[in-house]
Amino acid sequence: MAGKPWESRIVLPIFPLPDLTFFPHTLQPLHIFEARYRAMVTDALARDGRLAIVRLRPGYEPIYAGTPAVHAVAGAGEIINWERLATGRYNIIVKGECRIRIRLELPTDTLYRIAVADRLDDIPPATDVSRWLSRIREACALLLRALDRPANLLDSVLADGQPPGVLVDRIASAVLPDLDLRQELLETLEVEPRVERVAGALDALVNRLGRGRE
């Protein structure tokens, strides 16, 4: 399955979740227990292993078993590891590959939803963002210190040589807890404002933790 290029327009199953924003360049472990999503994983593994993880919009609860509204921009990826349990449930790991924008959902006789989506590519920064990346690294060091976590915990996420958009996607996924902010960052294709937004959010988080310890 691995290695197949992602086309500019994609047809793939969508997995709506209330509290998860799935970024490219990250790994997402999932425990699949609902019957419709067990069917989704079974079918995906029989094809190319691809699916999109989309965030549900507020107010989904009364119609969760149906087709509640989802955010149009989502993360898409490929199942790279899986285990089927004796109960029929799955443990899977999905590798994030790209952002997508859902154009429409297709009528289907499957238990799960299928969408037509456009792949969304990063818009590279027009100026040098190295100072923002330095701020991000400094803020992460302060954050780890404030939380009494190992100083090298985020070294792989912050490694040199990554495109700036990749680095901030990984940091947002690993560190930033606010769901609305995460969705905003997922929807921001321009790398420069995304880097600046992550830097500001990390500074605010460090300041909040610092005030909490006073």
Spacing of C-alpha 170 from chain mean position: 9
Residue spans per domain, the chain: 9-120, 130-212
Q: What is the pLDDT of residue 5?
A: 86
Condensed to tens digits (0 to 9), the pLDDT of residues 56-104 reads: 998 888 888 788 999 999 999 999 999 999 999 999 999 999 999 999 9
H/E segment holding residue 183 = helix 179-187
Spacing of C-alpha 101 from chain mean position: 13
CB 169 within 8 A of CB 147: no
The pair of three-digit structure tokens given for residue 84, joined into one six-digit string: 């089927």
Q: What is the pLDDT of residue 213?
A: 58
**Nearest-angstrom CA–CA distance, 51 and 147:** 34
**Nearest-angstrom CA–CA distance, 102 and 98:** 13
The pair of three-digit structure tokens given for residue 177, joined into one six-digit string: 């807890």
CATH number 2.30.130.40 given to 9-120: yes
Architecture of domain 130-212: Up-down Bundle (1.20)
Reported as a pLDDT band with limits 50, 70 and 90, residue 194 is very high
Model's pTM, two decimal places? 0.92
Condensed to tens digits (0 to 9), the pLDDT of residues 37-59 reads: 999 999 999 999 999 999 999 88
